[in-house]
């Protein structure tokens, strides 16, 4: 005969949160920041092909930390949602806030009802146009959604990295400056990160419909020089 033990709901939530946090803390972090002409996302990622940062739509990007298969599935769902919405209505009707809300609901559902909570933390970034504002929506494993005003840090060591970045930058700077600050904040005082271990993507108006650009190692080195 199986014995069922009573577990207080508070305890259950704490256990689940701890489980998710542990999973997320195992991976490397991401800094996303608004600069004077766009948004830059910097991830520490030794893999050149398993991306953490991705284009979603003309002015929307995605970043995720934690378990790769889990956030990559969310990334794919986001691209499908955006392309499907744009196909049904128009390209201008695709809004990052709606997508961020769907992500938050799904993560919330998985946290309370799933077999296990998703071990991910994700970011939906939107570059402003004449009708929508520039936004950084950070969504945590349990579905909490935060609208970050200037920059967002995802991942295990978020508080420390956040403090370092906040100390280095208090207004919107050019890309070169923000990129350097973001990398320094990720690395910390004792460490330098090789350019080959960085994944960098930007959202910036360059006269095209699609504003996302993945920066190559050469482009990053050039900017850091």
Partner 1 sequence: MGLPLFRAQDDPGPSFFHFAEIAGLTAPNSPSDLSSPHATTVIAVRYDHGVVMVGDRQATSNYIASRDVRKIEAADRFTALAISGTAARGMEFIRMAQLSFEHYEKMTDTALSLEGKANYLSPIIQRNNLSSPLVVLPLLAGWDLSHHVGRIFEYDGAGGCYERFDFSTIGSGSPFAESTLRLGYHADLELDGALDLGALAIYEAGDNDPSTGGPDFVRNIYPMMVTISADGFQELTQEDVANRFRVINERRTQSGGVAGGSLR
User: Using CB under 8 A as the criterion, which residues of the chain lie in contact with partner 1 when the complex forms?
Assistant: 49, 51, 54-56, 73-74, 76-81, 83-88, 102-103, 105-106, 210, 214
**Smaller CB distance to partner 1: residue 158 or 215?**
215
Least Cβ distance, residue 74 to partner 1 (angstroms): 8
- CA distances (Å), origin 81, targets 35, 105, 183: 27, 14, 31
Q: How many CA atoms lie within 13 A of 216 on its CB side?
A: 2
Give the pair of three-digit tokens for residue 50. Answer: 């398993």
**Smaller CB distance to partner 1: residue 51 or 126?**
51
Least Cβ distance, residue 87 to partner 1 (angstroms): 6
Least Cβ distance, residue 121 to partner 1 (angstroms): 17
Q: How many CA atoms lie within 13 A of 51 on its CB side?
A: 17
Query: Cβ neighbours of residue 94 under 8 Å, at least 6 residues apart?
Result: 57, 58, 60, 82, 85, 86
Least Cβ distance, residue 210 to partner 1 (angstroms): 8
What is the rounded radius of gyration, in angstroms, for the C-alpha atoms of the chain? 18
**Smaller CB distance to partner 1: residue 19 or 81?**
81
**Smaller CB distance to partner 1: residue 67 or 180?**
67
């Amino acid at each position: 005969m199986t014995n069922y033990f009573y577990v207080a709901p508070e305890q259950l939530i704490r256990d689940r949160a701890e489980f998710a946090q542990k999973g997320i803390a195992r991976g490397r972090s991401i800094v996303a920041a608004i600069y004077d002409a766009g948004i830059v996302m910097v991830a520490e990622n030794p893999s050149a092909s398993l991306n953490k940062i991705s284009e979603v739509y003309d002015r929307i990007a995605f970043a995720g930390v934690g378990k790769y298969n889990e956030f990559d599935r969310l990334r794919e769902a986001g691209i499908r949602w955006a392309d499907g919405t744009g196909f049904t209505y128009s390209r201008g009707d695709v809004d990052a806030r709606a997508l961020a809300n769907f992500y938050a609901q799904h993560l919330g559902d998985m946290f309370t009802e799933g077999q296990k909570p998703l071990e991910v933390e994700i970011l939906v970034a939107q570059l402003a146009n004449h009708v929508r504002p520039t936004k950084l929506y950070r969504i945590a494993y349990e579905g909490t959604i935060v609208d970050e005003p200037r920059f967002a840090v995802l991942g295990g060591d978020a508080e420390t990295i956040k403090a370092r970045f906040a100390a280095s930058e208090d207004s919107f700077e050019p890309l070169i400056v923000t990129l350097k600050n973001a990398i320094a904040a990720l690395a910390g005082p004792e460490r330098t990160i090789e350019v080959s271990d960085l994944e960098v993507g930007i959202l910036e108006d360059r006269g095209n419909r699609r504003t996302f650009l993945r920066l190559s190692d050469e482009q990053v080195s050039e900017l850091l020089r």
